[in-house]
Amino acid sequence: MKSNFVKAVTRVVMSGIVAGITFTSGALLVSADVAVTSGSDNYAKPSFEPEYQQVSKKNTNDIAVQVLGINDLHGGLDTTGEVAIGDKTYANAGTVSRLATYLNQAQSQFKKVTKSDNTLRIEAGDIVGASPANSSLLAHESTMHALKAMKFQVGTLGNHEFDHGLPEFNRILTGQKPGKTADTLVKKYPHRNSGIDMVVANVVNKKDDKIPYGYKPYLIKTVNQNGKKAKIGIIGLETSTLPSLTLYDNYKDYKVLDEAQTIAKYDKVLRDKGVNAVIVVGHTGVKTENKVTTGPTVDILKKVNTLAPDNAVGLYLAAHSHQYANAKVGNTHVVQAVYTGKAYDNSWCYVNPKTGKFTNVIPHVYPVLSAKDDPKTTDDQSVAEIVKDADKRVNKKVNQVIGYAAKAETITGRLHNNANKENAAGELVVDGQLFGAQKAKLKPDFAFTNTGGVRADLIVNKRQAITWGSAVAVQPFGNILQVVTMTGSQIRQALNQQYDENQQYYLQVSGLKYTYQKSTDTKQLYNVKDIVDNHGNAVTDTQSYRVVINDFLHGGGDNFTAFKGTKLVGAVGTDTDTFVNYIQTMTSTAKKVVPPVLDRKTLIQ
């Protein structure tokens, strides 16, 4: 199954084949010392990869090490969808049972070609959180069971590991029993230690500067081949933007240290211990698109090269941005395998047993192909049984019909935004939140939600029915909805904050419409102009309004600081329950759920 990928590049010093990616000229000078080079993966399966057919002569005396990585699984036990890798898009990719098989195939091929048993399986954070019901209703312990069955050895923290507080994540990581108030489904589910060693170097307790729960800043793995030994260091990183990505109560006890400074610090610690080959697993974003690789991970590695020009970091497993990446920043290769188990990265690394340094790193990213695209590859039965068991346990709750749509058509979410960053599922969510606050007699004017909280399309089945599971997949967090008082000026500020970070974070809005136009300020792409309510009345800067937001936004989440500290009027309940209740009410009043018209944001010239 050979893909039709076209080779891509961002910047090179010279043309040629470097560590498994073909580069061509296209200068983008980063600095005198740090180049960023990007390439596209050309094959859908590692068994077709020319570089994985034999060991290069220059590496025959080296120790071969394979790193198999995933990121941002989000409890997607049976999640499928399109995945874009390079300039090729694969349909219906995913599920952990197929991922497990592909990881096993990749490991078998590596062993056959290199005669090496040195394979590390690493996950780069957000393994849980914002998940479908067969993970979330079981407190994500089903996902931990699947990871254990897939033999993952090392992991780091993402922001979603904090969704219910780090103590709860540590409980499911180590297989401890839940508390007395836990749901019966959770209490009855088997509790098992995942066996994953958590490495996170830049999260420390505020009280004593120690890493919580005995997690380690790094691990040292000894690798052996043909009587030769070497050591590999693995440094783990949380994103330093954690405070803007989770509730205050969940991170208030911790400090998150600068990523680059942390890498430089522990790179030196490892080298002082005789470890000259270092891997970083970091929950920081990156993407390779249109021959360019950008993102926080690139910036971090540039800074690392300034702080420690002689660093030993040869491979960086990135995460968080849910995008494809395969690039090289300075001497460090960077990969990211999209998200929700639709892809995986496979890096063949060679270590000189005398110097302990990487002599060659060959990274690639591959899709988890559907059974239609690769019928000869079958699901891993042990993992499939875990998913089947989880489905059975939550089936009654998940399949409960809560309402009906006007048409038997999926109401699409944030993966299907229009040009103005509006999506039907997201606006249905905020319409429901406005309705819920009205029902609670809190007299709201408007409702806003962060689009990152709208996690999925709203699936409508052939009978036009909407199930509990479908609704919860859209709103899985259970954030508390609050009604706050805001001036029109603060509302304008919040809307403008959508456009100050290249629209990385944006809002779904209800109860108002606005126009916006392009700005001459390079730090503010657009400016909001006219804001009106649903009756056509102007929203004025000096007037006060009541606005429904979740507690994540109220804490300044996603860097929407305009919401932070606004006066609380009252609480509505959880966003999950409010959305479910809205769909139920729409149906009980003989109305059908209809996708909103996407006309709330208008770009003007």
How many Å apart are CA 10 and CA 26, to the nearest integer? 6
- Are 337 and 121 in contact by the 8 Å Cβ rule? The answer is no
Same domain, 365 and 406: no
What Å distances lie between residue 301 and 117, 252, 283, CA to CA?
30, 27, 13
pLDDT confidence bin for 249, thresholds 50/70/90 = confident
Angle at 433 between CA 427 and CA 435, to 5 degrees: 105
Residue 560 placed within a domain:
yes
Same domain, 152 and 284: yes
How many Å apart are CA 546 and CA 274, to the nearest integer? 60
Q: Which of 558, 540, 581 is nearest to 245 (CA)?
A: 558
Return the DSSP state at 196.
P
Residues above pLDDT 70, as percent of the chain? 95
Residue 148 placed within a domain:
yes
Same domain, 118 and 155: yes
Tokens of 531: 């804001």
Same domain, 325 and 454: no
Tokens of 473: 């997949």
pLDDT of 548 over the 90 cut: yes
How many Å apart are CA 149 and CA 152, to the nearest integer? 8
Residue 10 placed within a domain:
no
Instruction: Decide: helix, strand or coil at residue 1.
Output: coil
Average pLDDT, integer, range 411-426 = 96
Of the residues 360, 387, 414, the one at which a domain ends: 387
Same domain, 313 and 409: no
Which residues, listed in sequence order, are joined to residue 16 by a DSSP beta bridge?
23
Highest mean pLDDT among 84-88, 149-153, 585-589: 149-153
How many Å apart are CA 37 and CA 13, to the nearest integer? 9
Q: What is the pLDDT of residues 66-110, one digit of tens each?
A: 999 999 999 999 999 999 999 899 999 999 999 999 999 999 999
How many Å apart are CA 498 and CA 223, to the nearest integer? 48
Helices and strands in the chain, H and E counts: 14, 31
Same domain, 363 and 410: no
Residue 470 placed within a domain:
yes
Average pLDDT, integer, range 125-132 = 92
Q: Which of 452, 398, 460, 384 is nearest to 421 (CA)?
A: 452
Which residues, listed in sequence order, are joined to residue 401 by a DSSP beta bridge?
467
pLDDT of residue 2: 34
How many Å apart are CA 489 and CA 508, to the nearest integer? 18
Instruction: Decide: helix, strand or coil at residue 313.
Output: strand
Per 3-state DSSP, what percentage of the chain is helix, strand, and coil (rounded to 5)? 30, 30, 40
Residue 550 placed within a domain:
yes
Mean pLDDT, all residues of the chain: 92
Instruction: Decide: helix, strand or coil at residue 334.
Output: strand
User: Could you tell me the end-to-end alpha-carbon distance of the chain, in angstroms, rounded to an integer?
Assistant: 46
**pTM, full prediction:** 0.83
Q: Where in 313-433 does DSSP place strands (E)?
A: 313-317, 324-329, 332-337, 343-351, 358-367, 401-404
Of the residues 336, 365, 387, the one at which a domain ends: 387
Same domain, 122 and 247: yes
Q: Is the dihedral of CA 578, 582, 585, 587 positive or negative?
A: negative
Average pLDDT, integer, range 526-533 = 97
Tokens of 12: 């090179």
Of the residues 323, 358, 387, the one at which a domain ends: 387
CATH code of the domain containing 438:
3.90.780.10
Tokens of 142: 């089903």
pLDDT of residue 503: 86
The HSE-up count of residue 437 (CA atoms within 13 Å, CB side) is 28
> What range does the domain containing 536 cover?
399-603
Same domain, 531 and 556: yes
- Are 377 and 370 in contact by the 8 Å Cβ rule? The answer is no
Same domain, 138 and 252: yes
pLDDT of residue 169: 98
pLDDT of 481 over the 80 cut: yes
Same domain, 315 and 450: no
Same domain, 365 and 508: no
Chain centroid offset of residue 517 CA: 31
pLDDT confidence bin for 150, thresholds 50/70/90 = very high
Residue 198 amino acid letter? M
pLDDT of 1 over the 80 cut: no
How many Å apart are CA 203 and CA 243, to the nearest integer? 12
Same domain, 463 and 590: yes
Chain centroid offset of residue 276 CA: 30
Task: Give the DSSP per-residue string, 52-90.
Answer: GSS--GGGTTSEEEEEEEE---TT-SS-EEEEEETTEEE
How many Å apart are CA 541 and CA 219, to the nearest integer? 54
Q: What is the pLDDT of residues 252-295, one digit of tens each?
A: 999 999 999 999 999 999 999 999 999 999 999 999 998 899 99
Contacts of 212 (CB under 8 A, 6+ apart): 166, 170, 203, 204, 205, 254
How many domains is the chain partitioned into structurally? 2
Residue 6 placed within a domain:
no
Chain centroid offset of residue 322 CA: 5
pLDDT of residue 590: 67
pLDDT confidence bin for 168, thresholds 50/70/90 = very high
Note the residue count of the chain.
605
Angle between helices 141-149 and 96-114 (to 10 degrees): 20
Residue 182 placed within a domain:
yes
- Are 314 and 361 in contact by the 8 Å Cβ rule? The answer is yes
Q: What is the pLDDT of residues 16-45, one digit of tens each?
A: 222 233 222 223 333 437 999 997 799 999
Residue 11 placed within a domain:
no
